Amino acid sequence: MATVFLDLDGTLTDAGEGILNSVDYALRKLSLPGLSGDNRWIVGPPLWPSFAQLGVQNEDLDRAVGFYRERYIETGWKENKLYDGILDQLAKLKEAGYTLCLATSKPHSYARKITAYFGISNFMSFEFGSELDGRNSDKPALLAHGLAVVGAEGERAIMVGDRVYDIQGAQANGMKALGVSYGYGGLAELQEAGADAIISDPQKLAETVSGLLPL
């Protein structure tokens, strides 16, 4: 069985607006300076270390995440859009015989709202995300869990994502890693992480997966 694990934010959908607006909201609720400059790095990693990097004290990290979710659940998750041609690419992979699985650091309770809203869930056999307390937000752990649930071997699986965390998660589990530079990590980050291949066009997804992981 050839299994494809796919990140959500920055890979299937362009989620930056809603995430950054919600982070900014949380910072201001804590009476901290709001976001300024280029903050693309925030899109992808788990929230707790991101808020710590933004200057939130350890004792306030849970509050920051709570404020973030307050806005994200209400508004932020819809400040989002599919990348061009993504549903068509998922359809091609599914029709070819690949098992498709979501693998996101986002809590699965939020991720499933997004995948249902945008029609992504129609192509997914499994949808894996983190727990609200942060468990499985680490990509190596999340993918290990996903492989075990699916019953797939690492050498017959591939992870598709836009950040170094996706590549590291794949490598930790003996999987192929496909980087997408159209997302939030960029070409240099994915090259340095050691992705097996990198695409800049979402409409090359199915073709490149098939080349890296033949059925």
Judge contact between 11 and 105, C-beta under 8 A. Answer: no
Q: How far is CA 44 from CA 19, 29, 61, 66, in A?
A: 9, 22, 17, 18
Query: How does DSSP assign 88-152, residue by residue?
Result: HHHHHHHHHTPEEEEEEEEEHHHHHHHHHHHTGGGG-SEEEEE-TTSTT-SHHHHHHHHHHHHT-
Closest by Cα among 35, 119, 20 to 76? 20
Q: How far is CA 35 from CA 74, 79, 80, 111, in A?
A: 20, 17, 19, 24
CA triple 4-10-11, angle to 5 deg: 25
- φ/ψ of 7, rounded to 5, equals -65, 165
Active-site position among 7, 9, 162, 196: 7
Residue 7: active-site member = yes
What the block records as the tokens of 50 is 């991101």
Residue at token pair 């059925």: 215
Rounded Cα–Cα distance for residues 80 and 56 (Å): 26
Q: What is the set of active-site residues?
A: 7
